[in-house]
Structure 1
């Protein structure tokens, strides 16, 4: 027997906000649902599993379109997963680039955070923000 869930229960089960569930329905990531006699949406176990899949994909940073591709692949287990592998590698490269950028930002912020000036006139951060990008903050 399949359980039927209200949107509120589905939200609690999946950890996805009600507004987000409605958005996923609007962009057709989550299929149309049946309605109870009172007009409320009803969801089943497959909706809960699909929504969990979507949430986990979003947590990993995949776009809506990428998740759509992954859902298609998940429904065709006989297909090769080269597309998913390619997508994962590209996403990993992007994440690693962001990590490098964040490390550079951290170094720059640490340098200006060591300001010992008591006035804005000699503030390290304010001075660093006025320097053109190519010469910014002491060889970041």
Structure 2
């Protein structure tokens, strides 16, 4: 498959290839919970696990733990453990994490600004789909 300019010839990566390391990073960043963690931490203030869990309505402890570990592994956040009883653990974005968090914040703002148009498009689509269910031989408009 021709994907345009082939960076591999120049020592770069080709994100459209299955084994490209960039693809794994994109898959992580594109995850719903990753995006929400990045936005929650984007202001630079450290947060504890419980704080993040309350902020991210609907996330399970298991999924939040997996997401935080993956972000730490990729260098997008730091996990600081303080020797208290019980131990206090805080999460904070690294410089790299703040950079991608800013990009995700832009997507969040775009989503909020355009939600009415998106909801209207959904309703229109669902109405057309319902009409097609009633009359399957009607042409798709």
Please identify the structure whose Cα radius of gyration is greater.
1
Structure of higher RCO (CA pairs closer than 8 Å, 6+ residues apart): 2
The structure carrying a bigger strand percent of its residues is 2
TM-score (norm 1): 0.35
TM-score (norm 2): 0.35
